[in-house]
Amino acid sequence: MKVLMLNGSPRIDGNTTIALKEMEKEFLKEKIEVEIIQVGNLAIRGCIACNYCYKNDKCGINDIVNEISEKFKTADALVIASPVYYASANGTLISCLDRLFYSSHFDKRTKVGASVVVARRGGCSSTFDELNKYFSISGMPIATSQYWNSVHGRKVGEATQDLEGLQTMRTLAKNMIFLMKNITNGLMPQTEICVLNHSLIYMKMLK
Share of the chain above pLDDT 70, in %: 90
- Note the pLDDT of residue 176: 97
Per DSSP, the three-state class of 28 is: helix
Instruction: Count CA within 13 A, CB hemisphere, residue 163.
Output: 0
**Strands of 112-119's sheet in order across:** 33-38, 2-7, 77-83, 112-119, 150-152
Instruction: Return d(Cα 25, Cα 11) in angstroms, integer.
Output: 21
pLDDT of residue 64: 98
Q: What pLDDT score was predicted for residue 185? A: 85
Specify the CATH superfamily of domain 2-206: Flavodoxin domain (3.40.50.360)
Indicate the domain borders of the chain: 2-206
The whole-angstrom separation of Cα 109 and Cα 116 is 20
Length of the chain: 207
Please state, in angstroms and rounded to a whole number, the distance separating the CA atoms of residues 43 and 161.
31
Q: Looking at residue 205, what is its pLDDT? A: 46
Q: Per-residue pLDDT for 55 more than 60?
A: yes
CA separation for the pair 48, 26 (Å, rounded): 39
The span from the CA of 57 to the CA of 63, in Å, is 14
Q: What is the pLDDT of residue 186?
A: 81
Selected residue with higher pLDDT from 185 and 67: 67
pLDDT exceeds cutoff 90 at 198? no
pLDDT tens-digit map of 12-37: 999 999 999 999 999 999 999 999 99
User: What are the two backbone dihedrals, phi and then psi, of residue 112, each rounded to the nearest 5 degrees?
Assistant: -80, 135
H or E stretch at 130: helix 124-136
pLDDT above 60: residue 119: yes
